[in-house]
Structure 1
Amino acid sequence: MTHPVIDIAQLSEMLANSTKIAIVDCRFDPMAPDAGRQAHLAGHIPGAHYAHLELDLSAADKSAGGRHPIPTEGEFTALLQRFGVDADTLLVTYDAGDLAAASRLWWMARYFGHDKVAVLDGGIAAWVAADQQVEPGAVAAGNGTFAANIDPALCVDFQAVCYGEYRPVLIDSRDPPRYSGEVEPIDLHAGHIPGAINMPWRESLGETGLLRDAEAQLARWQPLFADKPAPILYCGSGVTACVNLLALELAGLSGARLYPGSWSDWCQRGGVVATGNA
């Protein structure tokens, strides 16, 4: 399996050496859904394709599965083929720098059977800060041969989250005010799934905006793995929880699973709501 994170120097060297690589710009602003695409057209890492969170990294049918249901096998196969991905292509994902949308594509690639995938630490913000080249305009579609092959061990559904006392530790990756139920700007109800522990996704990043190193990630997460099954992670709609899943992979802690529909799916299905900090 490919190391889950790549830095600016490594990506720059790969581009210089013409490594077989597909780069995908995942910038997305939920308050301005077309802003990411416009930013991509204004300037992106050379050769990078663009993936829109709602149009490309979510299923076309949004009638179930939360706000950002995962694509079908056919949809994801077509997407990676459009990005020119073959079985031996290194897929590199990036976004504006918070790693949320980039980690979403990283997780989905692995879920659909492509392990040669890495997230660019710091995103395009770090790329530009390092005085690396960007180019404007759209990038021509590729003609890859990727074929999806789902790994069901990477995710769980609503029923699995309802296992009660037999359920593994459940991690809510949202910001604390949403977890506690103080605010809910998007979904039907404020609060969290009963029994969930709050581990905010932003804490996977350090003060510099880059991911904390493997040692720091291990210190943060290892207590949740001690003599327990690997946890289930969720967030609002299966996006920011992927940053925590990336952090776990960086720490060398395997087995954690994503509840893709997350809080939005839980609310749609009428799941019990807890509030407060426990």
Structure 2
Amino acid sequence: MKNIVSLKWLLARMYESDIVIVDCRFQLGKPESGREAYKESHIPGAVYLDLEKDLSSAITEHGGRHPLPDIAELTGTLSRAGIGNASRVIAYDDQGGAMASRLWWLLKYLGHEQVFVLDEGFTAWQKAGFPVSADQKVLIPSPFFATVQHNMLVEVDEVQEKLGKAGVTLIDSREAARYRGEVEPIDRVAGHIPGAINRFWAEGRGADGQWKSAEEQAARFEGLAKDGETIVYCGSGVTACPNVLALQEAGFTNVRLYAGSWSDWISFPENQIAVGDEVALKGE
């Protein structure tokens, strides 16, 4: 099943009754900028969901910088946004698909299959001359019932247990310099989880801003076992989601998200930290 839809695909279907378009634009460090951009201009009929207010819960001692939202609260948010179990949800952003992929993953986690990420994002939609609007949709709630897919998620204790285990691949989705521990602009400790390999999430898109094909995604993860267990993380569980999507596009069948990610890992003082490059690929 494809997870990415083109601008033209959405243009042809945007007014169909079961389509719900969700604007997920958000900039780290500028938490109001996404909502303000939405108020100014968005794809007609789109509703806005905020990464930190709607798609994350409050920060605590553990759980990372963007803890997963409470399931009951999230289903309520989705229902109020007009997302029901029969909805086809199209998520977009202007951050390379990172924020839209968070909603994509959350809906998949809740058992909702009909969710897609819009290729390229809002700026490309606008540049293509497709319609935009500042009108805010009147929201008609639609009941959403979750069937939680617990196997999609991994917690810190399971990551600890599986470090170095045969058949398990751990993928760090951050930029290479952060992975190697050379810089750390956000979290208080630099480095990566021991044994993790690095596949920067943004490399899932080409120079033109479009998502790479399934074959190109497979080339990014060449040498890794498609039928093994793959655990993906980033800084806070957000930019790992486009890598989860890319891995699924590439044919990997057992991909799990460590939602707390690096910011959760370093909240436990007993957890080991590695720096530099890992010499061997795990999971082969």
Q: Structure 2-normalised TM-score?
A: 0.93
Please say if 1:91 is aligned against 2:76: no
Aligned to 1:158: 156
Distance (whole Å) between structure 1 residues aligned to residue 60 and residue 81 of structure 2? 23
Aligned to 1:197: 197
CA deviations over 1:35-70 (Å, ceiling 9, x no partner): 000000000001111111111110146443111011
- Number of residue equivalences: 275
Distance (whole Å) between structure 2 residues aligned to residue 158 and residue 9 of structure 1? 41
Distance (whole Å) between structure 2 residues aligned to residue 115 and residue 90 of structure 1? 9
Please say if 1:7 is aligned against 2:40: no
Question: Identical aligned pairs, as a percentage?
Answer: 44
Distance (whole Å) between structure 2 residues aligned to residue 177 and residue 142 of structure 1? 45
Q: Secondary structure at 2:232's aligned position in 1?
A: strand
Aligned to 1:235: 234
Aligned to 1:67: 65
- Matched-pair contact (CA < 8 Å) for 1:214–1:250: yes
Give 1:82-231 correspondences, 5 Å limit: 82-163=80-161, 164-166=163-165, 168-225=168-225, 229-231=228-230
Letter in 2 for 1:28: F
Q: Which moved more, 1:142-151 or 1:105-114?
A: 142-151
Q: Secondary structure at 1:93's aligned position in 2?
A: strand
Cα separation, partners in 2 of 1:165 and 1:277, compared to 1, 3 Å: closer
Residue 149 of structure 1 and its aligned partner are, at CA, apart by 1.9
- Matched-pair contact (CA < 8 Å) for 1:222–1:253: no
Residue 254 of structure 1 and its aligned partner are, at CA, apart by 2.1
- Matched-pair contact (CA < 8 Å) for 1:5–1:250: no
Residue 222 of structure 1 and its aligned partner are, at CA, apart by 4.1
Q: Secondary structure at 2:14's aligned position in 1?
A: helix
Q: Which moved more, 1:176-185 or 1:160-169?
A: 160-169
Cα separation, partners in 2 of 1:9 and 1:108, compared to 1, 3 Å: same
Distance (whole Å) between structure 1 residues aligned to residue 156 and residue 30 of structure 2? 30
Which of residues 41, 44, 54 in structure 1 aligns to 2:42?
44
Letter in 1 for 2:117: V
Letter in 2 for 1:178: R
Two-structure CA RMSD over aligned residues (Å): 1.5
Distance (whole Å) between structure 1 residues aligned to residue 224 and residue 50 of structure 2? 33
Q: Structure 1-normalised TM-score?
A: 0.95
- Matched-pair contact (CA < 8 Å) for 1:97–1:122: no
Residue 103 of structure 1 and its aligned partner are, at CA, apart by 0.3
Aligned to 2:243: 244
Q: Secondary structure at 1:10's aligned position in 2?
A: helix
CA deviations over 1:116-149 (Å, ceiling 9, x no partner): 1000011112211211111014333330111122
Q: Secondary structure at 1:268's aligned position in 2?
A: coil
Gaps in structure 2 of 5+ consecutive residues: 279-284
- Matched-pair contact (CA < 8 Å) for 1:76–1:148: no
Aligned to 1:266: 265
Please say if 1:76 is aligned against 2:74: yes
Distance (whole Å) between structure 1 residues aligned to residue 169 and residue 32 of structure 2? 36
Q: Secondary structure at 1:223's aligned position in 2?
A: coil
Gaps in structure 1 of 5+ consecutive residues: none
Residue 155 of structure 1 and its aligned partner are, at CA, apart by 1.1
- Matched-pair contact (CA < 8 Å) for 1:97–1:126: no
Give 1:10-21 correspondences, 5 Å limit: 10-16=9-15, 18-21=16-19
- Matched-pair contact (CA < 8 Å) for 2:5–2:119: yes
Q: Secondary structure at 2:116's aligned position in 1?
A: strand
